[in-house]
Structure 1
Amino acid sequence: MKKNNYSYIGIAFIILLFGILFVPKIVDRIKNNDITRNDRISVGQDNNFEDKGELAFIEINGKPKKVPAFSFINQDGKTITQEDYKGKVYVVEFFFTTCPTICPRMNRNLVEIQDTYKMDKDFGVASFSITPELDTPEILKAYAAKYGITNPNWNLMTGDETEIYKLANIGFNIFVGKVEDDEVGFEHSGDFALIDKNGFIRSRLDGFGNPKIFYKGIISEQEKMDEDGNEQEITMLKEDIKKLLNE
């Protein structure tokens, strides 16, 4: 009996010692928000990207990347430049009105975002046509009416094709190109870029601390994910627009 009593006393002592040594450290980690990504589920939209408040800047050669100067004609025949978006948070896309595949899905998602922020005068969208020779201001205006585009800060723009492709591929690093063997004849990214009030490209960080850069624009919130298992990022984009509007 004495041996058993000694065993119980020993076990109790070990438990007490564990509590004294380790519990305070765990509490301190929680208080200091020092629980790592491996210790918990991430706070972000999914487990790939973290939501830690302030959004990152996209840096090129150590400097935050800013939207380059541009000048195009919108659906109302008005000249629009980057200066028209100064002081506004906006989403950028490249599309064309006759696109039969991803563009309708992208613009339905953008209209949903538009309606989320319909009371905020500092939110906008910049849509650049990659078939400017076909997408005249009149065509763009009809397209806007078809999709329910009502935000006065949503400009659907047309202009010089070379300048638009340069803006996409170099200015925003969003791929746009012509494909001779494709029946549509064009290929472009279904991603959106998010721009802050000062004209800088912004995004949240991934699990390795790198900027996400772009947001998937094709998958809707209702779909949740596509056939390849990629999760929708419209919810994430809505959250990050709100952050920039509050900056």
Structure 2
Amino acid sequence: MKNKSYIGISFIVLLFGIWTVKELRERYNKNELDVLGNVPSFSLIDQNNKKITNEDYKGKVYVVEFFFSSCPSICPRMNQNMLKLQDAFYGNLDFGIASITIDPENDTSAQLKQHAKDLGVKHPNWHFLTGDYNYIMNLANKGFNIYAGKNKNVAGGFEHSGLFALIDKEGKIRCRKDKFGNPILYYDGLEEAGIKAIKEDIKLLLEE
């Protein structure tokens, strides 16, 4: 009787152990990044005077920022942090960056090409994009819900967010959760913690 009981208990423990290991594997292998919705459609012109749309990024994991080349405040830091992402994923053609100017009157294709050269941009999927001012403002503020606008009272004449948007291979905006379980929506493009987080999540999306 004791032997039967021992065998029964051992079997239950074994099953529990197998179930626990399976649950842990699923939990840590599962990509738990939130889906915020589809990336807004866009069609703009890059630094090589080529039309680039959101469809050109299909099948790629990419990061979107809104900036302008003559920005005297946060843009240089944003661009430097984008360079860190470029270096981390250089050579991976499934990765890309879309840097969209909010000052298209100044940031022509030629100006953006020089800006990219000065930065040291070398990834073929890093596009600096320009177009119609109202179109871009609508894309930033309503499409992505990332603030940008003119303000004559600030240095450079424009103000904007320092946030980065992360897009997956299917064209969906993705993000991680904060410590309270709430989606962060976008990544801090100014601080090292934000760059570390988005780098980790780019790796996750590239493996999907």
Same fold, TM exceeding 0.5?
yes
Question: Which amino acid in the other structure matches residue 179 of structure 1?
Answer: N
Greater RCO, CA 8 A, separation 6+? 2
Within 5 A, what are the aligned runs for 1:113-152? 113-152=85-124
Tell me what 1:176 maps to. 148
Within 5 A, what are the aligned runs for 1:27-38? 31=20
Question: Which amino acid in the other structure matches residue 112 of structure 1?
Answer: K
Task: Flag as ranges the 4+ runs of structure 1 deviating above 3 A.
Answer: 31-34
Write 1 or 2 for the structure with the bigger share of helix: 2
Give the Cα separation in 2 of the matches to 1:169 and 1:32: 45
Give CA-to-partner distance per residue, 1:89-111, whole Å, 9 cap, x none: 00000000000111111111111
2:163 equivalent to 1:240? no
Question: Which amino acid in the other structure matches residue 131 of structure 2?
Answer: G
Report how far residue 32 of structure 1 moved.
Answer: 7.7
Tell me what 1:54 maps to. 32
Structure 1: gaps of 5 or more residues = 1-23, 35-51, 59-64, 221-231
Give the Cα separation in 2 of the matches to 1:182 and 1:97: 15
Give CA-to-partner distance per residue, 1:72-120, whole Å, 9 cap, x none: 1100000011110000000000000000111111111111111110121
Number of aligned residue pairs: give it: 188
Give the Cα separation in 1 of the matches to 2:82 and 2:201: 14
Secondary structure of the corresponding residue to residue 233 of structure 1: helix
Give CA-to-partner distance per residue, 1:45-86, whole Å, 9 cap, x none: xxxxxxx7421111xxxxxx1112111110000001111000
Question: Which amino acid in the other structure matches residue 136 of structure 1?
Answer: T
Cα gap change, 1:182 to 1:33, in 2 (>3 Å): farther
Structure 2: gaps of 5 or more residues = 1-12, 24-29
Tell me what 2:5 maps to. none
Give the Cα separation in 2 of the matches to 1:203 and 1:188: 20
Whichever of the two has the greater Rg, that structure is 1
State whether residues 57 and 211 of structure 1, in contact with CA within 8 Å, keep that contact through their aligned partners in structure 2. no
State whether residues 67 and 200 of structure 1, in contact with CA within 8 Å, keep that contact through their aligned partners in structure 2. yes
RMSD: 2.1
**1:68 paired residue among 25, 40, 54:** 40
